[in-house]
Amino acid sequence: MAFPALPTADLHVHTLASGHAFSTINEIALEASRKGLKLIGMTDHGPGLPGGPHPYHFAALRFIPENMHGVRILKGIEANIVEEGQVDLEDRLLERLELVMAGFHEGCGFDGRGKEGNTRAVLALMEHSRVQVISHPGNPNFPLDYEAVAKKGAETGTALEINNSSFSISRKGSEPVCREIAVQCARFGSPVTVGSDAHIAQGVGEFGDALQALEAAGVKWGQVVNRTLKSTLEFLGLAE
Ligand SMILES: [Zn+2]
Ligand SMILES: [Zn+2]
């Protein structure tokens, strides 16, 4: 069944600050505005990723205006999972952010723990009060118990991301896993996000493959957290 509209918020965007992305926040906001988006999450990588920003970057996000080119900018992070229930930025800084995503990335100290170790780490993070979204859980290099994770998402109100780049540019082999996650989310009614994971302005707001996977799995439009500005702010507990 087709969704009634396209999401107007993109919760997963990288700027130059990530160290391997190519646009400024100004360039991304301009492109988002041109595409009719109302909100973007500025989610640069956590400090633990090689080339990632220093923790000062996250404290300095206060310099960024709330709106740029008519687009609400959420100050966020895509933090790296480094231990069970732990990411690579201290809670004191996480608390200042409006959007905290956490995900597995190679070379950040959490490789080779296997499906059980990965699942334990994610389930523990879903209990963490500051973690709102698990980024690209469909990465086949970090297998999870998808049923357990989707169930926990529904219980804790933590969203699972269906990452659009996973279908083409990044994390080869993700597609069947993303589809399985979407099926589990449909089953449990878990909150989901779609994210472009854009590393250059042109990629912002591109969600076609991720949306198709959600529709095919029978996920309801109301489960898509970032469908509108309002639904996104409500989910994150932020004021308009
Ligand atoms: Zn990532
Ligand atoms: Zn990313």
Under 8 Å between Cβ of 98 and 238: yes
Q: 230 C-alpha vs ligand 2 centroid, how far in Å? A: 23
H-type alpha helices, the chain = 25-34, 55-59, 91-94, 114-126, 146-156, 175-188, 208-217, 229-236
Q: 135 C-alpha vs ligand 1 centroid, how far in Å? A: 6
Q: 67 C-alpha vs ligand 2 centroid, how far in Å? A: 22
> How many distinct structural domains can be found in the chain?
1
Residue 117 lies inside a defined structural domain of this protein: yes
Ligand nearest to the CA of 13: 2
pLDDT computed for residue 1 by the predictor: 65
Q: How far apart are CA 204 and CA 37, in angstroms?
A: 9
Q: 78 C-alpha vs ligand 1 centroid, how far in Å? A: 7
pLDDT computed for residue 240 by the predictor: 85
Q: 50 C-alpha vs ligand 1 centroid, how far in Å? A: 13
Residue 2 lies inside a defined structural domain of this protein: no
pLDDT computed for residue 112 by the predictor: 85
Q: What is the CATH number of the domain that holds 180?
A: 3.20.20.140
Q: 136 C-alpha vs ligand 1 centroid, how far in Å? A: 7
Q: 171 C-alpha vs ligand 1 centroid, how far in Å? A: 9
Q: 163 C-alpha vs ligand 1 centroid, how far in Å? A: 9
Q: Which domain does 23 fall in, by range?
A: 9-236
Residue type, 239: A
Residue 3 lies inside a defined structural domain of this protein: no
Q: How far apart are CA 51 and CA 69, in angstroms?
A: 29
pLDDT computed for residue 219 by the predictor: 98
Residue 4 lies inside a defined structural domain of this protein: no
Q: 57 C-alpha vs ligand 1 centroid, how far in Å? A: 18
Q: What values do phi and psi take at 99, rounded to 5? A: -145, 120
Residue 80 lies inside a defined structural domain of this protein: yes
Q: 226 C-alpha vs ligand 1 centroid, how far in Å? A: 18
Residue 143 lies inside a defined structural domain of this protein: yes
pTM of the model: 0.97
Residue 185 lies inside a defined structural domain of this protein: yes
Question: pLDDT tens, position by position, for the chain (240 residues)?
Answer: 699 999 999 999 999 999 999 999 999 999 999 999 999 999 999 999 999 999 999 999 999 999 999 999 999 999 999 999 999 999 999 999 999 999 999 988 898 899 999 999 999 999 998 999 999 999 999 999 999 999 999 999 999 999 999 999 989 999 999 999 999 999 999 999 999 999 999 999 999 999 999 999 999 999 999 999 999 999 999 998
Residue 32 lies inside a defined structural domain of this protein: yes
